[in-house]
Amino acid sequence: MQELHSFGWYAKHLKKYLPKYVFKPVPSRLWGGLAYLLITIAGFLTIGLLELHPLFYLPISLILGASFAGLGFLGHEILHGTVIRKAWLRDLLGALAFWPLSTGPKLWRKWHNMNHHVHTQHEEEKDPDAWPTLEKLSKLKLFRWIYKLPFRVRSFFGFASLAIQFTAHSLKMFMVYIKDFKPKKQPEVWLQAVLPWATWLSLLWFMGFENWVFAFLIPLLIANTIVMGYISTNHRLNPLTPVNDPLANSLTVTVPKWVDVIHFNFSYHTEHHLFPAMSPKYYPMVKRYVKELWPERYHEMAMSKALHALWTTPRVYFENNNLVDPLRGKLYGSLGNGLNQRSFKLKRLNLQNK
């Protein structure tokens, strides 16, 4: 295995090639957020005020779901300080952008900025977004039961669950991290968590259940699927690492250019972990230099190929560099460590006998 380097090591080598302006915030990114906000309001008004056949609402739900996801990508960008640096305005705009996904800015910065980015794919499972190891799985009865299901069944339900994963994980992260905030800060974190849901429940009262399903519930499921389509490919094919090396533990996916435009370059995930405080507007430039300097280390894959790889591999780690299917006794290499399968019956039997 190649020697690992911290993201700071890479950043130090890359900075000499990058112009200074790429490290400044880009407020013009907010125009995209305004467009999504206007589309969302128009969609709500159309569903809430016009008495149309429900089938006419489905295309509007799709557009609303795409807008919810787009706002989430922008919220992620805002809360990294790459759009606005002033703290109170950053958190306000970040809260508005994350409102459809009902994630508060203080929780997000604690969970994502301060833990996921600092401990990405850490081998001791300090990353709140990392998947479990075989050792940890063997201690969890529910997960042991799940991993006794046939592989294709797990894959199907794993992909189906993308429609709720972001919302569910956000609620879990609230329960995990709320106690880490100082007592005087906790009411604000609670308020940021409760207010969005209060808004959506109020919308239910205003619109009625059927319209609410098309205006919020279906769009939320669509937004979860879009957002998790990226998040699930960001790291889940990569190894766990003792050093936070973005070229080892992160994956950049490729999508059509127009998709990058409407998703604020969220596909450039390795670049994001190298420079989280840089506007994604400049990530194509970073990518070019990374591929020139470390072509053998850089992981890049078409989104469709990455999703197919997720479908055909399990989500349990063994010895950091491999993914193991406890039921079938198969071991899969992670990115940078081969993709071949081989028999792994001994550990499978050990797990089943615990």
Per-block average pLDDT, block size 10, for the chain (354 residues)? 86 95 97 97 94 89 98 98 96 97 97 95 83 78 77 90 96 96 96 97 93 97 98 94 94 97 97 97 97 94 94 88 82 75 39 40
> Domain for residue 139, yes or no?
no
Domains of the chain: total: 1
Q: What integer pLDDT is reported at residue 352 of this predicted model?
A: 43
List, in sequence order, the alpha helices (H) in 161-237.
162-177, 186-207, 209-212, 218-235
Which residue, 341, 334, 129, is CA-closest to 248?
334
Decide: 86 and 153 in contact? Cβ < 8 Å.
no
Q: What integer pLDDT is reported at residue 55 of this predicted model?
A: 86
> Domain for residue 342, yes or no?
no
> Domain for residue 343, yes or no?
no
Query: 262-279 burial, b for 16+ CB within 10 Å, e for fewer?
Result: bbbbbbbbbbbbbbbebb
How many CB atoms are located within 10 Å of the residue 182 CB? Answer: 7
> Domain for residue 20, yes or no?
yes
Q: What integer pLDDT is reported at residue 124 of this predicted model?
A: 64
Total-model pTM: 0.91
> Domain for residue 138, yes or no?
no
> Domain for residue 89, yes or no?
yes
Q: What integer pLDDT is reported at residue 140 of this predicted model?
A: 73
Domain containing 114 equals 7-130+152-291+309-315
| Residue 268 to residue 306: CA distance in whole angstroms | 14
Q: How far does CA 238 lie from the centroid of its chain? A: 14
> Domain for residue 183, yes or no?
yes
Q: What integer pLDDT is reported at residue 290 of this predicted model?
A: 97
Using only the alpha carbons of the chain, give its radius of gyration. 21
> Domain for residue 349, yes or no?
no
